[in-house]
Structure 1
Amino acid sequence: MARRLKKIMTLDDLDKFIKRSNKKPVFIFKHDEVVSESEEAYQQYLQFVEESEEDVLFTMVDVRECVEISEEIEEKLEISHEVPQLMLIMDEEVVWDDQKNNITFDNLIEVVDEYISI
């Protein structure tokens, strides 16, 4: 796992990252290693995390290990559950999300250009 990628393991972790989105953007990736699309998206996300120079927090949650966290994301951020799923949180709100084969390195560069880069 990339050094900059933080794993969300508890509800407190989730709350902390959502609050931190008031200061800097936070990506949350929902992953299920037994879903082939999820593994492909995860590899794209990892490449992006490793190559990105943006001041962003990169996180992930394993939906099999942490079902409660996945459900809390859905409820707290008012977003429907998908796997794989990647969302960008700013000011405690989802400003962008996508799922499945749309999670690619190139698409993530476009997201950063649109929502984060000045």
Structure 2
Amino acid sequence: MQELQSIEQWHDLWEESASRTVFLLKHSTSCPISAEAFQVFQDFIEAQQKPDLQFALVKVIEQRPVSNAIAEELQIKHESPQLFIVKNKHVIWHDSHWRITTDQLEEQLAAL
């Protein structure tokens, strides 16, 4: 999993979505709901065998400019935790909070 620490890294990840599907989690290190979503995300990553997937994380408190740039550029209201699936430079799915579940991620993966 790549941890985004700059807006340039975010832009590189966006470009990479043209060739690989990207799962991006915006995570608050001070929120218990976000901690649960982060664990779901980590478990999901560990179970994946597909090389054409890229997984990334942005810590919204520590990397606020990156988090803000994502919200602004995608024109999707910031929430945390928040998960995006990006393919071919388009957000094909996003959700937040308790709706970030293993079942939901598996369903979205199957739909790719």
* TM-score, normalised via structure 2 length: 0.96
Q: Moved runs in structure 1, 4+ residues, more than 6 A?
A: none
Q: Pick from 8, 11, 15 the counterpart of residue 7 of structure 2.
A: 11
Partner Cα separation in structure 2 for residue 47 and residue 15 of structure 1: 26
Gaps of 5+ in 1: none
Percent sequence identity over aligned pairs: 31
Residue 31 of structure 1 corresponds to which residue in structure 2? 27
User: For 2:42, what is the secondary structure of its paired residue?
Assistant: helix
Q: Pick from 22, 44, 47 the counterpart of residue 48 of structure 1.
A: 44
Gaps of 5+ in 2: none
User: For 1:96, what is the secondary structure of its paired residue?
Assistant: strand
Partner Cα separation in structure 2 for residue 56 and residue 71 of structure 1: 24
Residue 65 of structure 2 corresponds to which residue in structure 1? 68
Deviation digits for residues 28-47 of structure 1, max 9, x if unmatched? 10000111100000000000
Partner Cα separation in structure 1 for residue 21 and residue 93 of structure 2: 11
The alignment yields a C-alpha RMSD, in angstroms, of: 0.7
* TM-score, normalised via structure 1 length: 0.91
